[in-house]
Amino acid sequence: MGLQPYLLLSATVFSIGLFGVMTRRNTIGILLGIELMMNAVNINLVAFSRYTAALSGMIFTVFTICITVTEAALGLAIVILLFRVRHTVMADHLDLLKG
Amino acid sequence: MTEQITFAALAVILVGSALAVVLSKNLFHAVLWLALALTGTAGIFLLLDAEFLAAVQLLLYAGGIITIVVFAIVVTERLIGERLTQTNMRIGGAALVSAVFLAFIVVVVGRHALPVSRPEMPGDLTRLIGEAVLTRYVLPFELLAVLMLAGMLGAIYFARPED
C-alpha cells in the first residue's frame, strides 16, 4: 500500500479538527479540536518518515507529541484559571479584548 | 491484503470518532471519542512499523491528555449541561472552509507522484530512534525536557489555589 492513503486520512482528520476548532463554543472543545489537528500532523510525519526511510520524521514526532502534551496541560490550566476569574469557559463570552 | 483491511478499519474508526469529537452535544462524550481517535492513531503508527511511537501515543495522549481534559471538564462542570448549545452559529461557514481545505489537500496529493512501496529501514526502529535521540538529537531532546518542566511548573502556577 502506498503513501497516498495515509496522507488522505491525515488530511481528513485535520479538516475535521479544523471544523471543531471553528464551531465549538466551549474552550475545552476548541482544545480537543486542536488535539485532533496535531494528531493528523503526527500521522503525516510518521508516514513520510516510513516511506522515505528517513528517521528524522519519527524523532520529530516524539518532539511534537511531547510539546502537544505540554500545550494541552498549559491550555487546560489557563481554562481553569479563566473559569475561576470569569465564571465561564464559553469562547464567545470571553470578549474582554473586543473594541 | 491484510494491510489494506487493517488500514480501512482503522481509517473508519479514526474518521468516525473524529467526527463524533467535533459533533457530539455532550463535551464529556467528545473526550471519550477523542480517546478512541487517539487509540486509532496508535494503530496507524503500528501499521507504519513505529511501535515506539504507538506506545508513546498511548501513554502520553490517550493516558495523559484524556485524564487532564476530564479533570478540566469536572472543574468547569457547571456550564456544560446538555441544555447549553455547544456549537456557535457558524457551522455552515466552518464546514465550507474545512471542505475547501480538504479538497485543496486532496488535489495537491493527487497531483504528485508519491512512493508506493516502503523501503527497508536500516534495523530496528525503536533502537534507531533511541540512538538518534541520544546522539545526533541530544540537544533538542534536553531542551524538550526543560520545556516540559517549564510547562508543568506554569500549569501548577496557573491552577494554584486562591490565596
pLDDT in tens, A48-59: 998 988 888 899
| Chain A interface test: which of B25, B87, B97, B156 (most A C-beta within 10 Å) | B87
How far is B62 from B15, CA to CA, in rounded Å? Answer: 17
What integer pLDDT is reported at residue A99 of this predicted model? 67
**Residue A71 at interface with chain B, using a CB cutoff of 8 Å:** yes
What integer pLDDT is reported at residue B71 of this predicted model? 83
pTM: 0.89
CA–CA min distance B18, chain A (Å): 7
How far is B76 from B128, CA to CA, in rounded Å? Answer: 43
Q: Which three cell numbers stand for residue B86?
A: 455547544
Interface contact B50-A29, CB threshold 8 A: no
What integer pLDDT is reported at residue B84 of this predicted model? 60
What integer pLDDT is reported at residue B155 of this predicted model? 86
What integer pLDDT is reported at residue B85 of this predicted model? 63
Contact call for residues A92 and A23 (beta carbons, < 8 A): no
What integer pLDDT is reported at residue B163 of this predicted model? 64
> Minimal CA–CA distance to B121: which of A11, A86, A94, A52?
A52
For each of chain B's 163 residues, which pLDDT tens digit applies?
A: 788 999 999 999 999 999 999 888 888 888 999 999 999 999 999 998 888 999 999 988 888 888 888 888 887 766 555 556 666 677 888 899 999 999 999 999 888 888 888 887 777 888 888 888 899 999 999 999 999 999 989 988 887 777 6
Percent of the residues in chain A that have a pLDDT greater than 70, as a whole number: 99
Single-letter amino acid, residue A43:
I
How far is A6 from A92, CA to CA, in rounded Å? Answer: 35
**Residue B133 at interface with chain A, using a CB cutoff of 8 Å:** yes
ipTM of the complex: 0.89
Rg (CA), chain A: 17
Q: Which of A63-67, A76-80, B18-22, B115-119 has the lowest mean pLDDT?
A: B115-119
CA of residue B154 relative to chain centroid, distance:
22
